[in-house]
Amino acid sequence: MNGAKPRPAAGHPTHDEAVAALTAPGAAFELVTETIGGIEYRVFRNLPASLRDLYDQARRDHGDKDFLVCEDARLTYAEAWDRAAAIAHQLIHRYGVAKGDRVAIGMRNCPEWVVAFMAITSSGAIAVSLNGWWSGEELEHGLKDCGARLVFLDQPRHERLADRLPALGVDTIGARWEGSPPEGVADFDRLWRDAAGRTMPDVELTHDDDVTLFFTSGTTGFPKGAVSTHRAVVSALASWGFYAALRIATGTLEAPEENPEFPPSVLLPVPLFHVTGSHIGLLASLGVGRKVVMMRRWDPEQALDLIERERVTSFLGVPTMMWEILHSPSLPRRDLRSLLAVSGGGAPMPGGMVDRLQVRMPSQHWAIGWGMTETNAGGTSHADEDLFARPESCGRPAPIVELKVVDADGNELPPGEKGELVMKSPTNMRCYWRQPEATAETIRDGWLRTGDIAEIDEEGYLYIRDRAKDMVLRGGENIYSAEIERVVYLHPAVFEAAAFGVPDERLGEELAVVAMRRPGAGLDPAAVRAHVAEHLARFKVPRYVWLQDEPLPRGATGKIDKRALRDRMLREAAVGRSSD
């Protein structure tokens, strides 16, 4: 296989031998059984009690090292800790934030996002991550739903929300402003400077305290807030540390200290308001003192510039970003000596990527994974020779992750049979915020229903085959059809509508909508797109819109038959050419 990574050299342990050694009593990833909420889980024994402990350890171990780099800003680990301590002091003493209160962040990638997140999660509050691409209407819904008493906003997000904020009654802190924030918006820089030198508040934090709320869409068409504890997040972080240790132990990855010319660093173009960015990119960096080079918006040439300038050792992105890097005409001329590893997830790999990466970037290690917002991105990992040998697989799970495939009655299916994937792990969320019925439907006896149709082979490799949930995965962003349909149905000229995904070489999937016009109504595709754009983020505006005057097809149960619509659209070549 041209360019493929070699198999582990003789003398290195096998995968199973390395797992046993790493998880043995007294080892770094010692595995024990613990009862959480009346249910037994496999857990790593050596975990920090909270995210604050993780930050503090990183400050003590790596204080003078660069931590956050973004455009003109650069902070060390010690500087980020000091600013977070100051902001945490202000949250408690100026704003009266108490343990369990929700404090939201609505910003694009920047150091202020990270400092705010550290402060919130160190003060006992729950950090609520608002999608930076949301419209004003969606941001308003997120703030109302979580009951936030305070929100950090950058200028673009504030502009979308400005006319809605007075009614929300939410205190606002502004960051990354051109000029001074308007009246009623506290300035982030002044806020931390006014409390500079304050120590981090000594609020009691435990494994089982809630710490994050990340929104994930659901079948109702409205976002749901997935609430996780400190234990869930730090367990997910430990699982990625385990994957790295496993690859080092089996001889497929060099230890970071073996390359002193290029100290650990990661290029982070994925948004921090998703668990891929916040957990795998940001928080996983703390344990190894990794420099985090953030991008506010994606551009493949700028990404390559940053890899060269900052001597980046690791790239983390969705497969679409990897695809564009691989197709960059400047790639052969770039100095990529520092780049050790390229990794990502959040979407299927485009066809042909494995073959192309072996030709265009043969010296780098490659890894992908599977996880969900509800699992704090915990799940499986797949790298190098295994990835090349099984490009359709998502890899194997960490030792604290139990996976099985079940039928409609919840019975476990044998290897190779397709069914719904369920997952049991301490990385799983605790609940959906204020949605007990949705929580009970999703989590049963510790097992989280993923909504993915999958199979697991005899060796434990996971293959995602389809999605039971009605979701479109566009370039790493989840778009739930029910949300799109809810908005399309609001158009006065629409009688009924269906939304679904169609294949796209670059993004994996693109959003398509088929709608029936109301009798006598005039409606064209551009009007449908404009209507959706008024209510939702731009990435949720359908690329393909197909209009008809007859009812949409139904299945035996009377529901709209989306599969038939999708097949018809593909067959009649509505996809791939202008739908206007």
Residues of the chain with pLDDT under 50: 1-8, 218-219, 556, 576-580
CA 262/CA 311 separation, integer angstroms: 6
- Is there a contact between 41 and 425 (Cβ–Cβ < 8 Å)? yes
Q: Would you give the DSSP letter of residue 430?
A: S
DSSP annotation string for 498-513: EEEEEEETTTEEEEEE
Ramachandran bin of 32, using left for φ above 0, alpha for ψ from -120 to 50, beta for the remaining angles: beta
Please report, to the nearest 10 degrees, the dihedral formed by the alpha carbons of residues 236, 27, 53, 245 taken in order: -50
| pLDDT at residue 580, as a whole number | 44
Output the pTM of the full model.
Answer: 0.87
Strand order in 508-517's β-sheet? Answer: 494-504, 508-517, 544-548
Q: Tens digits of per-residue pLDDT, 83-125?
A: 999 999 999 999 999 999 999 999 999 999 999 999 999 999 9
- Is there a contact between 286 and 58 (Cβ–Cβ < 8 Å)? yes
- Is there a contact between 231 and 426 (Cβ–Cβ < 8 Å)? yes
112, two tokens:
């202020």
- The secondary element (H helix, E strand) that includes residue 338 is none
142, two tokens:
């997120």
CA 27/CA 246 separation, integer angstroms: 13
| pLDDT at residue 421, as a whole number | 97
Q: Tens digits of per-residue pLDDT, 290-321?
A: 999 999 988 999 999 999 999 999 999 987 78
CA 192/CA 174 separation, integer angstroms: 12
Domains of the chain: 51-205 (3.40.50.12780), 230-466 (3.40.50.12780), 471-571 (3.30.300.30)
| pLDDT at residue 74, as a whole number | 97
CA 163/CA 155 separation, integer angstroms: 13
